[in-house]
Amino acid sequence: MNDSNGKIKSRDSKIIWGLIGVLILILTNFATYIIGTTMPIKGTRRISEATYEDLVKFNKLFIVKENLYKFYDGKIDEEALVDGAIKGMTESLKDPYTVYMNTEEFKEFNTQTEGNYVGLGLQVGVKDDKVVVIAPFEDSPAKKAGILSGDVIEKVDGKEVNGKEYEKAVAMMRGEKDTYVTLTITREGKGTFDVKVKREEITLITVTGEMVDDNIGYVQITVFDEHTDEQFNKVTADLKKKGMKAMILDLRQNPGGWLTQAINITSKFVPKDKVIVSTEDKNGNKEEYKSKGGDLIGMPLVVLTDGGTASASEIFSGAIRDYNLGTLVGENTFGKGIVQSVLYEKKYGFGDGTALKVTTSKYYTPKGENIHHKGIKPNIEVKYPKELSEKPYDKKTDPQFIKALEVIKEKVK
């Protein structure tokens, strides 16, 4: 064997053991929730118990790599090989929310949870293996371009996307400020068409409020980011000073966000120490998140929901429904009842700016219901006409808001 082959063998050996270390650490260590909470992933093996077994199981990866070095007539980027192999693993799970993120993708992912980023200002999810718009954010480029909840994104700049490429589609929609992206959209009743949208810096004001009657406040939460709890406290304190004795809380088109923020805001309405939501992983490990108590307990409440009400918003809605603390008015929610964790630190086998976002558990409402793919049915169902969704919003013509106002007035008589 000549020297060059010897170098390749040596390099292969280092890469093999490095990959194994990363794979085992992913499986055995603790996870950090994207939504701000931590919990251990229990019941996995120690590295010493799994190293040889995993080497045998994943041997074909290294056989393919060796043959690429022997026969491929072109440039080989080892980092790209590793990234591609890991992405292939996550994609094989057919879970659009479990993804490996390279350095750039993880950086973009972090910016969106911090409350500002450059992009289109919309939240997407996956239904029937399609990339579907959950909701455009208020006053965002997507909203201004007329993109609606329920729109199916078929292509981004001419490149086809689907549920398996959920994170790729999100990354493609982001980019530099003042650049454009063309989305090919299919909309029920309108067919398929293109929308050109300008990327802008998205700074989110996630909570707004106003008095809609002498003693009724209207509060809208558009997303649960890291500032939402603080904004909610300020808005509701201001409305209470203005005489608010009852509240309409609008969670329509709210795609969710941080679990910690959802827990904090739900606690405002739920008596202290009552369970708001619980999670359970594949090993049966359960975690309960309990109310901290708050200053809105007992306040008459109506919650507005629709098909864009998802994830953390459904945690709030589920707790209100299960404890009968308010009335849900509107349409069935999106139905995302799973929790993702993000592995990114050195102790998890990373530390190089890459990360693994992985579905680690299901969540359950206080009465033990998992709403994944089912959503939450409102107490009073009111459809929002499609023709109104394409016009400028007006509370006076919004049948869901009108019904909510009617219901809340009955509660404060």
Q: Is the predicted pLDDT of residue 308 greater than 90, yes or no?
A: yes
Contact 116, 357 (CB under 8 A): no
Q: Which residues are CB-neighbours of 218 under 8 A, at least 6 positions away?
A: 209, 210, 211, 212, 247, 248, 250
Q: Is the predicted pLDDT of residue 215 greater than 60, yes or no?
A: yes
Which pLDDT score is estimated for 115?
A: 60
Contact 201, 118 (CB under 8 A): yes
Over range 142-153, report the average pLDDT: 93
Average pLDDT of the chain? 86
Instruction: Give the containing element (helix H, strand E) for 209.
Output: strand 207-211
The pair of structure tokens assigned to 162 is 């689907």
Which pLDDT score is estimated for 7?
A: 43
**Range name among 101-105, 353-357, 360-364, 384-388 with the lowest pLDDT average:** 101-105
Domains in the chain, ordered, with CATH? 118-203 (2.30.42.10), 207-411 (3.90.226.10)
Strands 152-156 and 159-160: antiparallel
What does each C-alpha distance from 180 to 22, 106, 107, 118 come to in angstroms? 37, 22, 21, 12
Q: What is the pLDDT of residues 13-42, one digit of tens each?
A: 555 555 555 444 444 333 333 333 333 344
Q: Is the predicted pLDDT of residue 364 greater than 70, yes or no?
A: yes
113 confidence band (pLDDT: 50, 70, 90): low
Q: What is the pLDDT of residues 319-342, one digit of tens each?
A: 999 999 999 999 999 999 998 888
- Maximum average pLDDT range among 55-64, 240-249, 250-259: 240-249
Please state the pTM of the whole predicted model: 0.67
397 confidence band (pLDDT: 50, 70, 90): very high
Which pLDDT score is estimated for 17?
A: 52
Q: How far apart are CA 101 and CA 277, in angstroms?
A: 28
Over range 66-86, report the average pLDDT: 92
Strands 355-364 and 99-101: antiparallel
Which pLDDT score is estimated for 390?
A: 78
Q: What is the 3-state secondary structure (H, E, C) of 125-167?
A: EEECCEEEEEEECCCCHHHHCCCCCCCEEEEECCEECCHHHHH
Over range 76-94, report the average pLDDT: 91
Q: How far apart are CA 320 and CA 358, in angstroms?
A: 28
First-residue to last-residue Cα distance in the chain: 90
Which positions are annotated as active-site residues? 311, 336, 340
Kindly report the CA angle at 220 between 263 and 218, in degrees rounded to 5?
110
